[in-house]
Amino acid sequence: MRIVYFVRGVLLITIFRSVLKLEAKNYLGIYLSKDTATVVCLGPQGKDHNILGCFSVTAGEQAEQSYQELATLIARGCTERDLRFSEVSVALDCGMFMQHTVHSDFTDPKQIAQTVRFDTEEALATDISEIAIAFEITSSDQTGSGLSIFSTQRKILSDVLLSLQSNNIDPVSVEPDVSCLSRFISRNVSLPEDSHPLFGVLSRHNGYFVVPGSSGSQKTSLMRTFLVSPTRARAELLAREVSVTTALAENQEPINCLKAFDSTGSVNYQQLSERIGFEASGVDFAEAAAVEPQILADCADIVDFVIAYGAALAHLEKPQSINFRSDFMPYQGKKMRLEKALKFASVSVTIFLLALGVYFQMPLLKKNEYRSELRKKFADDYKVVMLGKPLPAKFKDALRKLSSEDRRIQNVQSGRSGATGEESMMSKLTLVLEAFNKVAKATNLKINKVSVTSKNIRIEGDTSSRNNTNKLFAAVREKLEIVQFNYDLKAGRDVFSITVVPKK
């Protein structure tokens, strides 16, 4: 039975740990614009990630309710596709934030995080109390650090987070879309070691430029975003923005190629190469993501898919610096889940240990109850045997005294008390009784107590007068020796006590 309880406890803890482990497998990335959202769910597959599902949703024309509607559609879409996940990351569309370049006097990231709001307010000459910011360190030297600052209205961020949370979706991070795009490129697009490319990406409404970090680094050197007009010629737009971007990246390694992607497929890369002065070629995002065309059927734009994919990869970068939630409404979901899990585990283990303790204590409690009843009964018998003496605290002492008394009685009864004949205890008692019987009637003798030991006999009693007491003493002295005596007159009687031993 004890083994059963132990096994149950081990199984409970194992199952609890397994549930927590399973919960932490899948990751959801959401690319969110004002009226459209694209969702990608990734699951671990060795060092890579397999795509469990992706889809896009569009809100109606009610702009003030668009985030709430989008959040509801996202939750419904995940439920319909049975997409389960443990962490969520959100990428904000570039139309929902602004990007600035700011200088900080510090190089330590902790010091920069503590002062970045003051530096931003000073550089922008505006009140940033209603603005949430995220930043990335782009360069550092003896004079300080260059920062790329992303800012968004706190109301927008609050509406997004509250809408998602009302549908049980609490994102760990909220990032700029270009940051998520950069993460996807760094982790999924392979390039030759000697190339220093500039990535130009055009979606339906937005444009992005990304300069990856040095070889082997996951850090981005430069990120830019801009809006794309539907009527603007895309090749001309790319050529113009490439010149601006290369100028901004003048302190980086020289760019020697352009890797571009146009969601409309209208850019002629050969003509673009002639206009920008170095090689321009296309990049296949579907191949980089290892995604089949049928999986992308529910997505509005492959660029939106790539950004949502990059958001889902946010769990690989901890701590995440370009995170608006670090500045506004910090994420508490994992902490709360951990606290609830620990509380549940501690209560379960406490109940289990209490039950286990009671189970093992029950036999001992029953034994103690039986011992208590046995001691009470034994104490009454002990008093009778030991002439009213109380039972010692330890049974060992009681057993020793009983054994001693038993040996003494046996010796007295058998005459082995160290004397023989008239010196035996029985002989002593006989002599005492003979003396008492000889004068009892004449002295009006009353015996109150007789104590017998192996060495002597003590008698307590009284007579009708002192003279009769002396007669009693004289009768006793005929065959016994009085070693101690005492007498006193009380209530008309002569009370006495004597101690006698056999004559030598």
Each residue's pLDDT tens digit, 254-279: 888 999 999 988 899 999 999 998 89
Can you give the pLDDT at residue 11? 47
Whole-angstrom CA distances from 291 to 74, 296, 495 are 21, 8, 120
Q: Are 92 and 169 in contact (CB under 8 A)?
A: no
CATH 3.30.70.60 residue ranges for the chain: 421-502
For 111-142, what is each residue's pLDDT tens digit?
998 899 999 888 888 888 899 999 988 888 88
Question: Is residue 19 pLDDT above 50, yes or no?
Answer: no
Mean pLDDT of the residues in the chain? 83
d(Cα 62, Cα 31) in Å, to the nearest integer?
Answer: 20
Q: Choose between 418 and 96: higher pLDDT.
A: 96
Lowest mean pLDDT: which of 175-189, 233-247, 449-463?
449-463
Question: Residue 196 carries which side chain, given as an amino acid letter?
Answer: H
Q: Are 184 and 193 in contact (CB under 8 A)?
A: no
User: 385-391 long-range CB contacts below 8 Å, 24 or more apart?
Assistant: none
Can you give the pLDDT at residue 81? 92
What's the pLDDT band for 3 if we cut at 50, 70, 90? Answer: very low
Can you give the pLDDT at residue 376? 79
Across the range 415-439, mean pLDDT stands at 67
Can you give the pLDDT at residue 302? 93
User: 196-282 in CATH: which number?
Assistant: 3.30.420.40
Q: Are 149 and 135 in contact (CB under 8 A)?
A: yes
For 46-80, what is each residue's pLDDT tens digit?
556 789 999 999 988 665 678 999 999 999 999 99
d(Cα 429, Cα 417) in Å, to the nearest integer?
Answer: 14
What's the pLDDT band for 218 if we cut at 50, 70, 90? Answer: low
Greatest mean pLDDT range, 3-12, 378-387, 456-465: 456-465
> Nearest-CA neighbor of 495 among 467, 466, 472, 475?
466
Q: Choose between 14 and 236: higher pLDDT.
A: 236
What's the pLDDT band for 421 if we cut at 50, 70, 90? Answer: very low
CATH 3.30.420.40 residue ranges for the chain: 196-282
Question: Is residue 202 pLDDT above 90, yes or no?
Answer: yes
Question: Is residue 335 pLDDT above 70, yes or no?
Answer: no
Lowest mean pLDDT: which of 252-256, 269-273, 309-313, 348-352?
252-256
Across the range 11-38, mean pLDDT stands at 70
What's the pLDDT band for 359 if we cut at 50, 70, 90? Answer: confident
Can you give the pLDDT at residue 425? 65
Q: Where are the beta strands (DSSP E) in 167-205?
A: 173-176, 197-202
What's the pLDDT band for 4 if we cut at 50, 70, 90? Answer: very low
Can you give the pLDDT at residue 339? 66
d(Cα 429, Cα 176) in Å, to the nearest integer?
Answer: 114
* Total residues found in the chain within this entry: 504
Residue 104 CB neighbour total at 10 angstroms: 24
Instruction: Give me 125's structure tokens.
Output: 């000459």
> Nearest-CA neighbor of 140 among 111, 179, 116, 105?
105
User: 421-502 in CATH: which number?
Assistant: 3.30.70.60
Q: Choose between 426 and 364: higher pLDDT.
A: 364
Across the range 136-154, mean pLDDT stands at 90
d(Cα 404, Cα 495) in Å, to the nearest integer?
Answer: 33
Question: Is residue 383 pLDDT above 80, yes or no?
Answer: no
Concatenated DSSP letters for 349-363?
HHHHHHHHHHHHHHH
Say which DSSP state 192 is in. Answer: -
Per cent of the chain over pLDDT 70 is: 86
Across the range 440-456, mean pLDDT stands at 83
Question: Is residue 251 pLDDT above 70, yes or no?
Answer: no
Question: Is residue 493 pLDDT above 60, yes or no?
Answer: yes
d(Cα 66, Cα 72) in Å, to the nearest integer?
Answer: 10
Residue 489 CB neighbour total at 10 angstroms: 12
